Amino acid sequence: MTAVTAGQVGTAGSETLNGTGSDDVIAGLNGADTLVGNGGEDQLFGGGGDDVLYGDTLHDFAPMPHAISNVVLYLQDDAGEVLKVKVDSFSDSETDVFDANDLDLQSFIDDNYDEMEMVAITIKAGNNKSGMGTGEGELFVIDDSVAIEDLQAAGGKKGQADASFDYVTDLEPLGTPDEGDLLIGGTDDDELYGGVGADTFVFADGDGHDTIGDFQVGEDMIDLGGVSGISDFSGVLAAASNDGDDAVIALDDGSITLAGVQIEGLSVSDFLFA
């Protein structure tokens, strides 16, 4: 994988594109790219391929069309409990872009989830399309430094005219993440890095072949609540094997690779189940 200087446009190959502390514009084009903002108010464009985008704030991510299949919010209350909220079916009647700077969520959260704060968000496109190229598996994740007051409120809840939510489903309590990040791979093959803190990596059926690059045994957790066929730690052991230095958990239609981790080092405390 090639490293590209900040501000330059990538190529059709797979690259790591690093920003600076300034306001960068980074475009991956085709290939399975990794885009890192590194501070500043950046604009990250994944392009084609299964990309990983690291932004410092919600505003780092590029606009995309309204016609996306779902948005997943992670809301945290004063006690530290986290609720996963899946917001389905944004209106696709609008012709302008779905811009993170205008993401209309504050009034929705205030009206429906009083006294909860948004700690993370993922945005997944329908049919593997995000408007920035076909076949992507982009992952958009915001860490727990982003709160709802960073988002502009102008609509966005059911019954209002702007690109509104049709309905909300799949409310799922996730417990207390202990000041770590919540990361979802989604469909296609993704690379996930939680960084510092006790992180929770969430997986479900159809997520593809994902790799956790920095899983910390005894600190991070893997949430398999959305994975059919594995309901306890014995199921994990039955599905897992070592591949060189890595542990691989085989799923019905994908896998989870834990880089630098061996099966023997895992325990039930590293996992969450439905």
Regions in the chain scoring below 70 on pLDDT = 1-15, 18-19, 21, 24-33, 35-182, 184-187, 195-197
* Rounded Cα gap, residues 58 and 77, in angstroms: 20
Tokens of 96: 């302008």
Q: Where in the chain is the domain with CATH 2.150.10.10?
A: 181-274
* Rounded Cα gap, residues 60 and 101, in angstroms: 9
What pLDDT does residue 207 have?
81
With contact defined as beta carbons under 8 Å apart, do 40 and 22 qualify? yes
Report domain 181-274's class: mainly beta
Instruction: Summarize pLDDT for 87-116 with one digit per residue, the tens.
Output: 544 443 332 233 333 344 555 556 555 656
With contact defined as beta carbons under 8 Å apart, do 221 and 181 qualify? no
Within 10 A of 206 (CB to CB), how many other CB atoms are there? 14
Instruction: Summarize pLDDT for 14-52 with one digit per residue, the tens.
Output: 667 766 767 766 666 666 667 666 666 666 665 555 566
